Structure 1
């Protein structure tokens, strides 16, 4: 059993736990328009949220302008619609970008959104070098689980690595990738495969950046991770101990990382949406609280708590407030944050850790035997394993079969559904930016890092759809 803040960090990456550094309370938000998202951000910040997390609609995730025929019916439904840098600037209106950490749940179009973020900062008077936050920018899990892909796997990885390289060289406060096992878990993976996917993804990115001439210590210092927290409290809390310890040991032993800061696995946790139900939605408050407690007992650095209404819509104002209050009640009204590593020394936790460690190591070996993470994706082997595991999970059971709801629940459902946004296509103004887009195309075709040209294109008000087309491998 390790000590908090000491290698291999199973007991936590900070020696004083939450007693001196509370987890970041980062609620995911993204409504139909930039204005409504900005209003929600200010609402959450006024309630005490300590970090922003921005969700984008599906067209933005796929690089489609909101007036593209392929975007019909999806604009603004799963998050905010972003076409140009002006939209992103409107999202952050009145929010000092050098003082608030921002997480962006964007992957295939992360290069375009990073370029817009840089320009939005500059035009608000903030030096981009002072930006703070995280880009998800994690492509293997998109091909494996979410499928929100724009280009082929190799091209997608190349642009994802461009983001890492640009951030490492120019944006010291931005974490350029958040390695994800949580999405594989939502797709059906077991908790041990969830950990293995996160670590295998990290090693894929590490090798990619080493191939570009950067050092393993320099790169690993900029990694963050996304895992989920399910409802089995003790096993989920133990899971994070396993992930931290295995990751630190592999970095030291396999990658010769010497800087202990680079070995510390910094973890963002989302409570799992797959644990929520729509039949009796108020029960989801209890489920999310237990999941959040598992994450806190596991010593994570950042947390999103699902709203009770996420089983059927983008969270309403009431759901968002209750989710944030869940953080605050755990932090301020319970004693879980007053003790460093409160589960340390538990025989039950030690047994769970030993069992899971062996299983994760087995999964990592199988992934390696199938050609690493990218080879495991190309062959279809790993996706088939996840599909098989998905059938073994019964999912939530309590209150699922009973279709009766109380009058209070029906009223909440009615009111919150009324507030839910509808898809609305909108026209996009396209300014002359042929020179900037030609530079993006040239960088794409020659293998140069696309970020410098994307930043100029964003400054010229190129749309996300125009950038997407310019970056396509067949562009010429």
Structure 2
């Protein structure tokens, strides 16, 4: 077993673990309009949340304005609707952007949302260099698992790298990409493939940035990772040990990293929605708690706990509060945060770790043999592997039949569905920003980094749909591709 805070970081990236600072308690929120999302953020901050996590509706994810006919029926349904910088500014109204970390679950339109975030900060009197947080901006997992992409894979990767490059040079507190294995797991991948996908994605982005002249140390210092937590408590806790150690060794041995900050895998965990059941929803409190405990025992840096009602609706206030209290009870009413690497030295953990490490390395070799992550996505081979694995997982086994549901629970579910606020349809006020959009179009066609032009367009109140249109390659399909949820 390793030593906490020392290479290869299997025992954790900090020598003091949670004894000096607990994980960031970050609950995903995004409710229809900017105003209702602002209210939910203030509610969660008032309960003790330590980091904001913003979810966007499907039209925003795909670069469609809320009055676009293709957005009909989807505005505000899976998150907040954002059309212009004014909407994002309303999300953060009275929330000091230089004092709170923000995670944005946004991918295909991450460049547009980053530009709006920068402008919203400027106009609120905050130096954008003081922004803190993470953009997901992970297009490889979109093509592999979620399918919420807008541009072709090469253009998508170029814009993702533009975001990462801009953050490295101008936004020292913002991680420009969060590498995701968790989405592949939700799509059906097993535990070892989940880890392998996250690492293979990271190496693809790293190689892309190195081709732009940056060092492995400069780039990898700004990486963060997203994994999930499932129900096998010890195996899931061991998974994070394996991910950290395999990643650190590959960064050092394959890419010549010398800065330990670049070799430290910083992990955000979301408890898995696929482990939740619509029936007997209060059982999901137990499921989410066990998954959260696995993440904490695994020494992760940031955590989102699913709400018990998340299997059938956007979390209500009660569900969000219980999820946040789950964090706080684990951190303050148990002893799991009082010991550094509490599972270190366990023979069971050592055995699981050894077996899982071999499986992860085998998957990484197979991915490399198929042309790396980009090659695997283009050929469809890896997607086929994920689909095959998906058939072997039956999901939650307790509380999944109508017979197990009481009349009272059925009535509660009906009432909650009926009373759930409907999505807010609205039109977008158009402003004249032709010159800024023309400069954005020129940057997109020339191959220049699009962020400077995007920031100018956001400042001029260009809509997300106008930005997307200006950034679309001439030979691309006119319609947004793919569907998906966060």
Q: TM-score, normalised by structure 1?
A: 0.99
Q: Distance in 1 between matches of 2:442 and 2:178?
A: 28
Q: Secondary structure at the match of 1:44?
A: helix
Q: Distance in 2 between matches of 1:134 and 1:409?
A: 38
Aligned residue in 2 for 1:295: 295
Aligned residue in 1 for 2:2: 2
Count of matched residue pairs: 476
For residues 219-266 of structure 1, the C-alpha deviation after alignment (integer angstroms, 9 at most, x for no partner) is 000000000000100000000000000000000000000000110000
Q: Distance in 2 between matches of 1:37 and 1:400?
A: 31
| Map 1:334-345 → 2, pairs under 5 A | 334-345=334-345
1:331 aligns with 2:331: yes
Query: Is contact 1:175-1:224 (8 Å) kept?
Result: yes
For residues 330-360 of structure 1, the C-alpha deviation after alignment (integer angstroms, 9 at most, x for no partner) is 0010000000000000000000000000000
Query: Is contact 2:187-2:387 (8 Å) kept?
Result: yes
For residues 176-204 of structure 1, the C-alpha deviation after alignment (integer angstroms, 9 at most, x for no partner) is 00000000000000000000000000000
Aligned residue in 2 for 1:377: 377
| Map 1:213-292 → 2, pairs under 5 A | 213-292=213-292
Aligned residue in 2 for 1:193: 193
Evaluate the alpha carbon distance shift between residue 393 and residue 416 of structure 1 in structure 2; reply closer, same or farther with a 3 A threshold.
same
Query: Is contact 2:399-2:405 (8 Å) kept?
Result: no
Query: Is contact 1:279-1:403 (8 Å) kept?
Result: no
Aligned residue in 1 for 2:482: none
Q: Distance in 2 between matches of 1:148 and 1:183?
A: 12
Q: Secondary structure at the match of 2:403?
A: coil
Q: Distance in 2 between matches of 1:351 and 1:312?
A: 38
Q: Compute the displacement of 1:21 (Å).
A: 1.4
Q: Compute the displacement of 1:423 (Å).
A: 2.7
Query: Is contact 2:33-2:424 (8 Å) kept?
Result: no
Q: Distance in 2 between matches of 1:214 and 1:232?
A: 39
For residues 399-426 of structure 1, the C-alpha deviation after alignment (integer angstroms, 9 at most, x for no partner) is 1124343455345424432442323321
1:305 aligns with 2:305: yes
Q: Distance in 1 between matches of 2:344 and 2:367?
A: 31
For residues 8-52 of structure 1, the C-alpha deviation after alignment (integer angstroms, 9 at most, x for no partner) is 000000000000011000000000000000000000000000000
Query: Is contact 1:441-1:475 (8 Å) kept?
Result: no
Q: Secondary structure at the match of 1:313?
A: coil
Over aligned residue pairs, what C-alpha RMSD do you find?
1.1
Q: Secondary structure at the match of 1:19?
A: coil
Q: Distance in 2 between matches of 1:424 and 1:337?
A: 42
Aligned residue in 2 for 1:116: 116
Q: Secondary structure at the match of 2:206?
A: helix
Aligned residue in 1 for 2:50: 50
Q: Secondary structure at the match of 1:53?
A: strand
Aligned residue in 2 for 1:68: 68
Unaligned runs of 5+ residues in structure 1 are none
Aligned residue in 2 for 1:106: 106
Q: Distance in 1 between matches of 2:412 and 2:325?
A: 18
Aligned residue in 2 for 1:89: 89
Q: Compute the displacement of 1:71 (Å).
A: 0.2
Query: Is contact 1:280-1:409 (8 Å) kept?
Result: yes
Aligned residue in 2 for 1:392: 392
Aligned residue in 2 for 1:211: 211
Q: Distance in 1 between matches of 2:139 and 2:221?
A: 19
Unaligned runs of 5+ residues in structure 2 are 477-486
Query: Is contact 1:469-1:475 (8 Å) kept?
Result: no
Q: Distance in 1 between matches of 2:424 and 2:335?
A: 46
Q: Secondary structure at the match of 1:67?
A: coil
Q: Distance in 2 between matches of 1:419 and 1:457?
A: 39
For residues 409-462 of structure 1, the C-alpha deviation after alignment (integer angstroms, 9 at most, x for no partner) is 345424432442323321100100000000000000000000000000000000
